[in-house]
Chain A
Amino acid sequence: MSLDAKIPQGPLAEKWSKHKFNLKLVNPANKRKYDVIVVGTGLAGASAAASLAELGYNVKSFCFQDSPRRAHSIAAQGGINAAKNYQNDGDSVYRLFYDTIKGGDYRAREGNVYRLAEVSVNIIDQCVAQGVPFAREYGGLLDNRSFGGSQVSRTFYARGQTGQQLLLGAFSALNRQINLGKVKMYTRTEMLDVVIIDGHAKGIVTRNLITGAIETHSGHAVLLATGGYGNVFYLSTNAIGSNVTAAWRAHKRGAYFANPCYTQIHPTCIPVTGDHQSKLTLMSESLRNDGRVWAPKTKEIAEKLRKKEITAAQVKEDERDYFLERKYPSFGNLVPRDVASRNAKEMADEGKGVGTSGLAVYLDFAEAIERMGEDTVRAKYGNLFDMYYQITDENPYKQPMRIYPAVHYTMGGLWVDYNLSTNVPGLYAMGECNFSDHGANRLGASALMQGLSDGYFVIPYTLGDYLATIGPKPVDKNHPAFEKTKQDVIAYNNKLLALKGNKTVVEYHRELGHIMWEYCGMARTAEGLTKAKAMIKALKADFWKNAILTGENDEVNAALERAGRVADFIELGELMVTDALNRNESCGGHFRLESQTEEGEALRDDENYAYVAAWEFRGEDQEEVLHKEELVFENVKLTQRSYK
């Protein structure tokens, strides 16, 4: 199968407008004859479900949480970008496009990224109309702040809870459509497979997480908005329930998985304290607007700090290395996430890390408190400071925060074309669960932007084109594919429930996480990746022999849920390693030690790797097949990324 991205021809700025005009429309009277399945209720899923219902389609919305409002988008802290140029500081659609392409290290599609920048301005308007309480200036106008990877203030925010407020906006739009009867909501329901008929997606198989009932649901199209797969690393900033199962099962039914090796490591997380830890907590990137990152200049001072012989405040100014400001004078502490993360790791690797483990650097607000006063700092970042205090028992107003990079976001995901369609007709992927828009690295405040862009402003147009093509004939729920897929799911779950070994699923997950972090984390080598691949294969074999599960299917069974998700993470982990091994270059969040500049920055190989790697599943225990979508750059010149 050829990979046609369906990027419209013509000038960059006109592609989306022209495309919208060329897309087929569904007559309003016919819209009610179509059923659309939307899986996931985060920013992408909730906004899509609400918008499609507003248009008149019958929407079935699914989430594994007890309420759509608990989707993990809720946890995003910092903000959402939009090229409004309200600040008059030189922002424009083109600049947002350019920053995003550059930030992604030239591994994203120009067409998609431009569209994202273009609709970003509508997103803010839409959210404000819904009553999202963004931060305001005294004159009543919207306030903005700046984020990593950009030199303008284009980030809209709602204290440190932007994700929660945006999601509540989408949730309320969804609630309105539930009230109107246009959305049927299925909570505590997990998608476990996709039903394919004649090559088209026509439904899903789900497990009711209360009764265990395995059910089938039909629709003219299936839209996945199920988030990212960062939990493959066990420890990440993701919610515990975030998983790849829906996307992975779709992959095993034919949807290509693109760029799985692109993982974003976020530089400002609270460091690990021990093996009991179940997740890592992110501190918003916005903290780097005012906080200064530093490590001690010498190993000796670091050693004293680790042993608590001295405190951070006792380290004199000339004994501190503000390494981001020193190395990147123009962007300073606001360099993009991959750059900040690698530099923190470098400090720890050189023995200059702080905290008991040595795996941390300081994020210091002393200067900001002196400059603005503690009250102003509290008004800007108070809830983040409180959160830090709860977790660490250290007061960040009195001593610098300890931060270290952690897995945060996955840029890879299901391959989609410009219409957000996977290579399986009728199967769409939106938000973090698709691969598009961010390239090899994601800039801050752009995940929320992409989720809402896909859900509010892209899919309502592009889905109609497909639906108009297939026509409103009802989906045949009696087609044998429904029962067959359902039986496959039942058999798979029974296989899991029969595991009566001696090692818990959580132990397997933790072990997978260690392998992934060590060999497919912040830095990768061919040697390490080869080793990891063998280790994951062995882990998989062991899982299916020695894992232990308790309980039955027909009841609430968190162990069964977790087991299915971990089994999928193990398989995906192997593909991530395969992809990382294939990509013999460094770019963005994928850093191959073999490929770096003299200054230690990621060194791309545009001649050989300016492509999207889309992987095709060919059967259990078979090597996946690589398909390449060449990336074409007509508007930006590929240059070595520099934030100096």
Chain B
Amino acid sequence: MGTKSLAHQGWITGILMILPYTIFFALFSLFPILYGLRISFYDWSLLGDKVFVGFQNYTNLIADEEFRSNLMHTVIFTIISVPLVSGIGLLLAILVHGIRRGQSFFRISVFMPYVLSVSVISSIWVIFLQPYTGLFNQILRALGLIHEEIFWLSQPTLAWAAIIMSTIWWTVGFVFILFLAGLQDIPASFYEAGQIEGANRWQTFWYITLPSLSRITILVIVLQTIASFKIFGQSKLITGGGPAGATKTVVFSIYENGFQTFQMGYASAIAFVLMIVILVISLVQTFILRRLES
């Protein structure tokens, strides 16, 4: 066999080896995107006719008050929860990084909720937050922080507070682990140099630790922003979107329009808007990280 036919054999094998995955990707990832784009230009109900309407679904979105308020809820949730989750994750990482003995106990405790499903964490928090019987109000009362029962799920602001608290509890472990890994990667020589310069603890943190974490910080913020834009499970399962629709989100809009009133075209348009937002965030991330690297 000559080298030519060997190389030829190589590329047939290469193509054969990516083929099985490619079929899955084409059918269940690529095709749905294109199909969804097409649906979004139709008045497409589940059983009735499919009428081409151009950009009408998209223009209707702007006038749709329900969608606008769901979008608003999602944006506010993102603005509040991303700094909280990132900041608390960083604080916990710094705290645990400073502990030498028994560090794994803290890592396990903070990270454990992250492996539970949204159904489990939602149900735990609903019961945890019950006004009279729930443990949460009992703890607050024992600490002397409240004197009256708080009805967490019956008021919009408190309902959002409940969703945000449970989300922090559930997901902060992920951010915490990323920051902890980042802290462990900072070379000891950086700190030694700081010591020679006579930097105090605060200066060390501000001029050495934080800048060394910049890459991970950006990654965390972008990943959290994307995740926050997709929030659905907590709002569906903790508050049911209530009270009076105050905790409905963008994915809630997709769910209701698509699978409760069966306006597939309209729901697809919402899904496309969501995807473009997430695409833009991802691209901005890639761009910033590239610049940081060079």
Q: Do A and B come from one complex?
A: no
Q: Which residues of A contact B (CB under 8 A)?
A: none
